[in-house]
Structure 1
């Protein structure tokens, strides 16, 4: 079949023109070469494809049957070529991004908002999963790029940092005052308060659990929440003390709606950034996105003040 592809192009052109000399002109080859190609195809199929007449050549019955299939094949090829050209001209592509719900709202959206303006024809699919799951999808090549906390052992994962985030504990003044009235132990907030953390699937939760264990901070009443949004909202209605990311509650802290709980030991800041597999052939859409965020590095975090 492979060796006959050029023969089928000659056959298709001769059938369309009905004339060997016109086919030779279109294909920029000699008439004898056209005739030789037709004979070779007829021999390989063991049929006669054309009959000659005074005006040129005409398809035989077998030739008509073959032409029907060859015509569809060349139409499909032409359609494919047109689609590829359109993709290149418009920058059409598909980008799969993995990200946690928290990072999607607070960090990814500012990037996507500007990227879509300059690349409106790239289709974007977002997998909202925990950071651990996002990293696993990345390693399984099921997503192109992940927005994650910096992994301790990357293992063939390239990581581009966007900056640092800082975990803090917050609540309302009302909650702290009521807690003090109930317990008379304002200095031991974590043991007496309702402590609100993300669920254990979240990398942030694992990070905070390690912090609490390392400093032997006891907690007696724990409320697990699935998203950072809910943690922030629950803390704002005085449901308890929530562990949140400072950059995501700057407004509430500045306006006094929430207050930061002093910690006996600081929580080390963490790097957040985009990650993708090393040594993987990337699509145009992925390359465009990587180039975009590298030029806009720090866009989301720079818009939010970071405490030193």
Structure 2
């Protein structure tokens, strides 16, 4: 007798491949058995899950909804199986980390190097995205941990702050005349501003702080990377909001200058987060310990 879990595995495989025949090959089943499994699931749920055409199959609207949940559940089961199979001494296994490009480059690399040198048989899988995108990926089971910008509010996640970082504003040569005295926020927003795009967690943090002070921003430029913020500021396109810790090279070389403020943006954190409901693998536990203790 085919279990309900087996039916969902078949359903997800067909949903990914959009083909009964390809799914049959992937599952080492006959095409007829795959078709029968889908028909049985549709009968039990009393809903049509696939549109069937001569060119293959595609998920119905109801099928898309079910696929999102079923695929996440199966991914989490796979994660559980992988954790059981890992060796206690970390001689095998995989560590899947979600992290943004900027944090990866300016913060995470030394920890990756240290971990790899000490546990060379653990494979890395790195997934990039914004903080919110990565948290969604974490909940699907596709990564073990996420290294991202805090603050973050999500009761499903365990959060471990690791380092404090400072948001600042920088400018190029053209605007250095404004550096003679610290600026109030309402003076700052009269200048052309350069910010990260709205979906960025660090952008939202600074914007929320400014709004709390009664100041609303309307950036001239909204960019997708921290390095572009610095480059735009360097060529005098405006005043860029950047992370001071990640801008040290530009500041030290005088490519950009820090804009003094009467009241600085409060510091925030970069940290590690993971699902409260899912135990970490031994590899992920060790990596979190290394990052938390800044041990490399």
Fold in common (TM above 0.5) = yes
Q: Indicate the larger mover: 91-100 or 190-199.
A: 190-199
Secondary structure of 2:262's aligned partner: coil
Are the aligned partners of 1:96 and 1:143 in contact in 2 as well (CA < 8 Å)?
yes
Give the corresponding residue for 1:71.
none
Deviations 1:36-82 (A, max 9, x none): xxxxxxxxxxxxxxxxxxxxxxxxxxxxxxxxxxxxxxxxxxxxxxx
CA distance in 1, matches of 2:164, 2:273: 15
Q: Indicate the larger mover: 161-170 or 219-228.
A: 219-228
Give the corresponding residue for 1:171.
171
Deviations 1:255-294 (A, max 9, x none): 4322111223321111211111224233232233233334
CA distance in 2, matches of 1:293, 1:192: 40
CA distance in 2, matches of 1:221, 1:284: 44
Are the aligned partners of 1:228 and 1:244 in contact in 2 as well (CA < 8 Å)?
yes
Give the corresponding residue for 1:268.
266
- Unaligned ranges ≥5, structure 1: 1-83, 181-185, 300-308
Give the corresponding residue for 2:91.
91
Are the aligned partners of 1:190 and 1:219 in contact in 2 as well (CA < 8 Å)?
no
CA-CA distance at 1:201 after TM superposition: 1.0
Are the aligned partners of 1:147 and 1:275 in contact in 2 as well (CA < 8 Å)?
yes
Are the aligned partners of 2:93 and 2:121 in contact in 1 as well (CA < 8 Å)?
yes
CA distance in 2, matches of 1:232, 1:248: 10
CA distance in 2, matches of 1:138, 1:197: 26
TM-score by length of 2: 0.62
CA-CA distance at 1:238 after TM superposition: 1.9
- Unaligned ranges ≥5, structure 2: 1-84
Are 2:243 and 1:245 aligned?
Answer: yes
CA-CA distance at 1:219 after TM superposition: 4.4
CA distance in 1, matches of 2:218, 2:291: 43
Give the corresponding residue for 1:160.
160
CA-CA distance at 1:171 after TM superposition: 0.6
TM-score by length of 1: 0.60
Residues 280, 90 of structure 1: alpha-carbon distance in 2 compared, 3 angstrom cutoff = closer
Larger radius of gyration: 1
Secondary structure of 1:212's aligned partner: helix
Give the corresponding residue for 1:102.
102
CA distance in 2, matches of 1:104, 1:207: 20
Are the aligned partners of 2:195 and 2:222 in contact in 1 as well (CA < 8 Å)?
yes
Are 2:221 and 1:223 aligned?
Answer: yes
Secondary structure of 2:137's aligned partner: helix
CA-CA distance at 1:89 after TM superposition: 7.1
Q: 1:236 aligns with which of 234, 237, 241?
A: 234
CA distance in 1, matches of 2:256, 2:213: 25
Give the corresponding residue for 1:194.
192
CA root-mean-square deviation: 2.7
Q: Indicate the larger mover: 238-247 or 210-219.
A: 210-219
Secondary structure of 1:114's aligned partner: helix
Are the aligned partners of 1:190 and 1:218 in contact in 2 as well (CA < 8 Å)?
no
Give the corresponding residue for 2:149.
149
CA-CA distance at 1:98 after TM superposition: 0.8
CA distance in 2, matches of 1:273, 1:192: 33
Give the corresponding residue for 1:257.
255
CA distance in 2, matches of 1:295, 1:247: 19
CA distance in 2, matches of 1:246, 1:141: 33
CA-CA distance at 1:174 after TM superposition: 2.4
Q: 1:283 aligns with which of 276, 281, 284?
A: 281
CA-CA distance at 1:90 after TM superposition: 6.8
* Count of aligned residue pairs for this structure pair: 208
CA-CA distance at 1:151 after TM superposition: 4.0
CA distance in 2, matches of 1:196, 1:160: 30
CA-CA distance at 1:197 after TM superposition: 0.4
